[in-house]
C-alpha cells in the first residue's frame, strides 16, 4: 500500500504540476470542445433535414450515419481519424493535431445533435406547422 501511495498519490508532485496542467490542458479542452461543438451543430443539420424529408433515398443514409456515430466509442473514432486517415489529414491539415481531433469529435457530436434536432422537430404537432412546412412533415 505504501508503494501505491508513493507512486500514485504524491501530493507534492501533483500540486507542483497542477498549474502547468491547467494552463495547457484547460486551453486545449476549451478549444477542442468549442470548435467540435460548432462543427457538430452545423454538420448535424444535414442528417436532420435528410431524415425529416421522408424521402427513402435520403433518410436511409442519414439514419445509418447517426446510428453508426452514436454507437461507436469516441476513443475509436479519434483513433481511426488519427491513425487510419493520417495521410489524408497530413495532406489537408499539415502536422497540426487539432483539426483531425476536431473533425472526429465533430462527427460524434453531429450524430447526437442530429437526434436532438430531429426529436425537437418531430415533437411539434402537424396542426402547429405552417402549410409550407406541413408538406415536409
Which are the contacts of 109, defined by CB distance < 8 A and separation ≥ 6? 36, 37, 39, 40, 41, 44
Question: What gap in Å lies between CA 63 and CA 121, rounded to an integer?
Answer: 16
**Residue 27 in grid coordinates:** 486551453
Residue 118 has pLDDT above 60, yes or no: yes
pLDDT digits (tens, 9 = 90+) for 54-82: 789 999 999 999 999 999 999 999 888 88
* Domains of the chain and CATH, by start: 31-134 (1.10.3720.10)
Q: 48 falls in which pLDDT band (50, 70, 90)?
A: very high
**Residue 94 in grid coordinates:** 499539415
Mean pLDDT of 86-100: 81
- Dihedral class, residue 94 (left if φ above 0, else alpha if ψ from -120 to 50, else beta): left
Amino acid at each position: 500500500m505504501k508503494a501505491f501511495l508513493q507512486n500514485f498519490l504524491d501530493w507534492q508532485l501533483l500540486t507542483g504540476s497542477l498549474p502547468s496542467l491547467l494552463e495547457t490542458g484547460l486551453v486545449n479542452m476549451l478549444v477542442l470542445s468549442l470548435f467540435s461543438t460548432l462543427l457538430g451543430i452545423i454538420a448535424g443539420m444535414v442528417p436532420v433535414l435528410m431524415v425529416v424529408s421522408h424521402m427513402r433515398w435520403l433518410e436511409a443514409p442519414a439514419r445509418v450515419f447517426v446510428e453508426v456515430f452514436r454507437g461507436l466509442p469516441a476513443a475509436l473514432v479519434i483513433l481511426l481519424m488519427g491513425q487510419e486517415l493520417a495521410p489524408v489529414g497530413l495532406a489537408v491539415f499539415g502536422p497540426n493535431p487539432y483539426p483531425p481531433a476536431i473533425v472526429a469529435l465533430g462527427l460524434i457530436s453531429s450524430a447526437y445533435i442530429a437526434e436532438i434536432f430531429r426529436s425537437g422537430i418531430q415533437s411539434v404537432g402537424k396542426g402547429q406547422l405552417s402549410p409550407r412546412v406541413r408538406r415536409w412533415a
